[in-house]
Amino acid sequence: MSEVLHIYETNAAAFDRDRGRDLMEVQYLEALLERLPPERRVLDLGCGAGEPIARYLIDKGCRLTGVDGAAAMIELCAARFPAMTWVVADMRTLALAQRFDAIVAWDSFFHLTGDAQRAMFPIFRDHIAARGLLLFTSGPRDGEAMGQLYGERLYHASLAAEEYTRLLDANGFDVIRHAVEDPDCGGHTVWLAQARQ
């Protein structure tokens, strides 16, 4: 994980410049928002520079807390949206002593090893409000893969869909939407789950 954070820390400005703003994620963000109460407290894990997902949620009236392990990313967020809460932290050890109506981990959670992903589900559970929503992306199947970002190797991992389903269930979540390599969302594999209580 330290290598992943180093890549994002040292390339924050370039990543912010190159990050697509066409909001291919909108169908999933809308599916999340339509299930949330009027007072919407959202935790964005791996928020990056806050564009476009955090901006979209903020524009829709969400009170957003963004967490990223790269301080340079959080600095960009804080400059853009000073009224929101921005935290430099490792999601693997997160303990905010707050609960949120929704947790979003878009294109961030999948940088963790399989074991670290398994350990995240109790953290999701401890930060979710009653009937809260969890939205995250994963790989399409169990395994590890190395990508490239700004000339450096970038780690990704995924568990099998069956294991994600078991982990969600064991931590009090029901899957309400799951898409594998959605062609309308840049090939993302997406999970939307809701806390049972």
Average pLDDT, 10 consecutive residues per value, the chain (197 residues): 77 78 92 94 95 96 96 95 97 96 95 95 97 97 89 90 98 98 96 95
Residue in the structure block whose two tokens are 């040292």: 10
What is the reported pTM?
0.94
Q: Are strands 152-158 and 143-149 parallel, antiparallel or unpaired?
A: antiparallel
> What pLDDT score was predicted for residue 20?
74
- Tally of helices (H runs) and strands (E runs) in the chain: 7, 9
Side-chain half-sphere CA neighbours of 11 within 13 A: 16
Q: What CA–CA distances, in Å, run from 146 to 45, 97, 110, 155?
A: 21, 34, 11, 5
* Domains of the chain with CATH codes: 2-195 (3.40.50.150)
Looking at the chain, how many residues does it have?
A: 197
